[in-house]
Structure 1
Amino acid sequence: MPDTVLTLKDVTLSLRSNAGLVEILHGISLDVTKGETLGLIGPSGSGKSSLLMIMGGLERATSGTVSALGRDLTAMDEDALARFRRDHMGVVFQSFHLIPTMTALENVATPLELAGVDDAFDRAAEELKAVGLASRADHYPSQMSGGEQQRVALARASAPRPEILLADEPTGNLDGTNGEAIMDLLFGLRDRHGATLVMVTHSRELADKCDRVIRLTDGAIDQAALQAAE
């Protein structure tokens, strides 16, 4: 039986707003196995990104449990969660989240330095080369296109060799050509490093490349869609 790297049991998420309590996720139970590629799809507002953030410990579940690599994320404090992400996870955001005052090389090297990697800049240079940006190592985010910035973000997420790679709409801000390039890079990174990949996407083409696709509707897993897929 394949190793399970992510397990969610009866996860709910409720957030308070000016209009009162908003129920975002309802009783999500889900296992993700080692090396699997899982696509999360569904209409805007269905809870896809919130679910991804809970998987990465970037958002706390209101109830239920979340385990990653056998560790209970729901029992960790913020410092422990940050260390766990540093050591085991890579996260790619739709809006890149690069540090504007750092070059591409420095952006990629930063998580490696925080993890105490001795050859942080050498490895960062290797990752930039792997995403086709060796010549842009000394450029700042403002000097790069959106597609280039997303490739830097991918290199940064993959440089620490994470067991789990989470991507939130990685092609959402890109045109078709750049989107296809990022798709190829994402799956290439998975193949090179053996990471488990979970991604939120509106792209049917990207979802179709995944081993498994789960559709969320109104904060719950669409069971009818699951049965149809089976």
Structure 2
Amino acid sequence: MADTILDLSDVTLTLKGNAGPVGILHGITLAVARGETLGLIGPSGSGKSSLLMLMGGLERATSGRVHALGHDLSALGEDALARFRRQHMGVVFQSFHLIPTMTALENVATPLELAGAPDAFDRAAEELRAVGLGARLEHYPAQMSGGEQQRVALARAAAPRPDILLADEPTGNLDGANGAAIMDLLFGLRDRHGATLVLVTHARELAARCDRVVRLRDGRIDEGAA
């Protein structure tokens, strides 16, 4: 389809284990439309996070193909892949992955500076205000709660105006109230920037807000799941 932004065809992923090769994903074929919100669900160990990493070019498929915005990610070298992610993708992890020696503003602005944005700090401040952290620009991660740190991570992912936003258990380390707030912010960022959103979650209420839900089981798409 012309509006397909992510296209995976017969993708497998095998990793090396202590006892030999371990099959993680088996024959995944999946298309994600531009502007769609897709939830990836399934039991622990089903391959959800690995599939998200393949979509983001953070893992390379063992076989099959992964296309993002028409680019074959397996054909890109590491530097080209890093540039592509920086220009087109935002990634939010369960662990916040903030740089502890940088303020909230610097954590958000630094990737923009690396991408050559002339207004990196202005845009970073705008995104931090959008997630309710206008008063915390100069605070370091250790001075912020878990919910605030995840807001910084969301702002960092959204600041480059990505075409694709990938989120791996974004509420997994948060309590109920903070998790609900992050959910609202995540979908708000999607609406504000028009990004395609793919998220891994165990939270039923978060999956229910997605346009479509795909369930994985044992490294395969569970075709029989509702």
| TM-score, reference length from structure 2 | 0.99
Runs of at least 5 residues in structure 1 that lack an aligned partner in the other structure = none
1:149 is the counterpart of 2:155: no
Give the Cα separation in 1 of the matches to 2:99 and 2:66: 29
Equivalent residues in 2 for 1:44-63, closer than 5 Å? 44-63=44-63
Secondary structure class of the residue paired with 1:81:
helix
Match of 2:98 in 1: 98
* Structure with the higher fraction of residues in helix conformation: 1
Give the Cα separation in 2 of the matches to 1:80 and 1:10: 24
Match of 2:65 in 1: 65
Give the paired residue count: 226
Give the Cα separation in 1 of the matches to 2:85 and 2:224: 33
Match of 1:28 in 2: 28
Give the Cα separation in 2 of the matches to 1:98 and 1:64: 33
Give the Cα separation in 2 of the matches to 1:117 and 1:80: 18
Q: CA deviation at 1:181?
A: 0.2
Match of 2:159 in 1: 159
Secondary structure class of the residue paired with 2:135:
helix
| Aligned-CA RMSD value | 0.7
Give the Cα separation in 2 of the matches to 1:101 and 1:33: 38
Equivalent residues in 2 for 1:1-230, closer than 5 Å? 3-225=3-225, 229=226
Q: CA deviation at 1:111?
A: 1.0
Give the Cα separation in 2 of the matches to 1:53 and 1:156: 18
> Given residue 43 of structure 1, which amino acid in structure 2 is its aligned partner?
P
Secondary structure class of the residue paired with 1:223:
coil
Give the Cα separation in 2 of the matches to 1:122 and 1:104: 13
Q: CA deviation at 1:199?
A: 0.2
Secondary structure class of the residue paired with 2:96:
coil
> Given residue 71 of structure 1, which amino acid in structure 2 is its aligned partner?
H
Give the Cα separation in 1 of the matches to 2:78 and 2:222: 31
> Given residue 183 of structure 1, which amino acid in structure 2 is its aligned partner?
M
Give the Cα separation in 1 of the matches to 2:129 and 2:15: 41
Give the Cα separation in 2 of the matches to 1:127 and 1:222: 37
Secondary structure class of the residue paired with 2:94:
coil
Secondary structure class of the residue paired with 2:139:
coil
Q: CA deviation at 1:20?
A: 1.0
Identity of aligned residues (%): 81
| TM-score, reference length from structure 1 | 0.97
Give the Cα separation in 2 of the matches to 1:69 and 1:207: 24
Q: Which runs of 4+ in 1 moved over 3 A?
A: none
**Deviations, residues 16-62 of structure 1 (Å, cap 9, x unaligned):** 11111100000000000000000000000000000000000000110
Runs of at least 5 residues in structure 2 that lack an aligned partner in the other structure = none
Q: Would you say the 8 A contact 1:2–1:34 is kept in 2? A: no
Give the Cα separation in 2 of the matches to 1:85 and 1:111: 11
Secondary structure class of the residue paired with 2:28:
strand
Q: CA deviation at 1:2?
A: 6.1
